[in-house]
Amino acid sequence: MSKPVYNFCAGPAMLPKEVMATAQQEFVNWNQQGCSVMEISHRSQDYLDVAYQAERDLRELMNIPDDYAVLFMHGGGRGQFASVPLNLLPENRVADYILTGSWSKSALTEAQRFGDVNIAAETYKKDGLGSVLPFEQWQLSKNAAYVHYCPNETVDGIEFDYIPETDKPLIADMSSCILSKEIDVSKFGLIYAGAQKNIGPSGLAIVIVRKDLIGKARAQTPSIFDYSVQLNSESMFNTPPTYAWYLAGLVFKWLKQQGGVKAIEQRNKEKAALLYQFIDNNAFYQNRVETRYRSKMNVPFYLKDENLNTAFLQDSKAQGLLALKGHRSVGGMRASIYNAMPLEGVQALVDFMQDFANKNG
Ligand code: PMP
């Protein structure tokens, strides 16, 4: 048997093997219909059953309260960088943005196109390591329409270990950490996530929003990005990304079979601990994030001798360990170890890294 391949891409990322096998099996003959689920009307009862079931499963997995809407939208994570201010930032108000890395910065840049935005916290390093400015030092506005932050920075590998307490609606870009650990949804005004890490194919965005925040979109908001239009049309104002929605539903089912978010959180902790412990105990490699804020989903690391980067990437690929190159803005390496990555994949990576260090150290 050939060696298993493990894909560490940050997104689009690997999906559970079982989900891919089901999708393959059903690809041309879904539900005994003689055609694919992607070829049927989104308004047919058969498709609506798929769509509603996916929403029910997500609600169950995340324990989403009834006063929150779940929307399946177009435009991925960046679509929400615009949708959030268009829907939630009135023209005479200000929004607070917390900067912790490249994605929160991009969210801020997009929001600045639409209104008054306050940088309540800048990106921050502690003793040269990536970190989060202590909450007490945040300069939050008195009258903010909302506070936006990114609980897990995919590029920088920085993850919050707490939910900020604020009396304003808290908006979270959970693109790279949704469903990876238990969270109390009621602490948020709105959660959004591009699907291509822990949910399904890219293009789809999931929005979980407290219903009382909906209905105040600016007049010029494109209808497909208007939360009230999407809520009133059950996310089918136009043709939704039906195949991505179906695959998301398969992933939710898979996650329930794994024991739900609590069980996957435990596995994610074990995977991250294995990799960080190895890095910390091996002088050949280095992670540059304060321990407390290290991401359990995206593990950036550097080789002490960066001249070996190309060899590391070539050799790892030859071993079936794919996509370990760090984001072009920060260099180095990055292992994304989302829900679908099994512990064996992380173990294979650690074994390879040990071997590579032995050979080149
Ligand atoms: N936010 C975060 C945290 C991300 O990691 C990404 C994509 N990697 C985005 C937003 C942008 O998502 P998309 O490419 O779907 O627009």
Give burial (CB, 10 Å; 0-12/13-18/19+) of 161.
Answer: exposed
Please give the number of the atom of ligand 1 that sits closest to the Cα of 11.
8
Q: Which two tokens mark 138? A: 């945040």
Euclidean distance between CA atoms 77 and 107, whole angstroms:
9
Q: Is the pTM of this model over 0.90?
A: yes
Question: Which residue's C-alpha comes closest to atom 2 of ligand 1?
Answer: 175
Question: Which residue's C-alpha comes closest to atom 15 of ligand 1?
Answer: 76
Find out whether the beta carbon of 241 lies less than 6 Å from any atom of ligand 1. Answer: no
Find out whether the beta carbon of 110 lies less than 6 Å from any atom of ligand 1. Answer: no
Q: Would you say 239 is a known binding-site residue?
A: yes
Euclidean distance between CA atoms 182 and 68, whole angstroms:
17
Question: Which residue's C-alpha comes closest to atom 5 of ligand 1?
Answer: 154
Q: Would you say 30 is a known binding-site residue?
A: no
**Residues of the chain by 3-state class (helix, strand, coil), percent to 5:** 40, 20, 40
pLDDT tens string, the chain, 361 residues long: the values are: 678 999 999 999 999 999 999 999 999 999 999 999 999 999 999 999 999 999 999 999 999 999 999 999 999 999 999 999 999 999 999 999 999 999 999 999 999 999 999 999 999 999 999 999 999 999 999 999 999 999 999 999 999 999 999 999 999 999 999 999 999 999 999 999 999 999 999 999 999 999 999 999 999 999 999 999 999 999 999 999 999 999 999 999 999 999 999 999 999 999 999 999 999 999 999 999 999 999 999 999 999 999 999 999 999 999 999 999 999 999 999 999 999 999 999 999 999 999 999 999 8
Find out whether the beta carbon of 202 lies less than 6 Å from any atom of ligand 1. Answer: yes
Ligand 1 centroid to Cα of residue 173, in Å, is 8
ipTM over 0.90: yes
- Which residue type, as a one-letter code, is found at position 248? A
Euclidean distance between CA atoms 257 and 236, whole angstroms:
28
Q: Would you say 221 is a known binding-site residue?
A: no
Buried residues in 284-313 as b, exposed as e (16+ CB within 10 A): bbebbbbeebbbbbbbbbbbeeeebbeebb
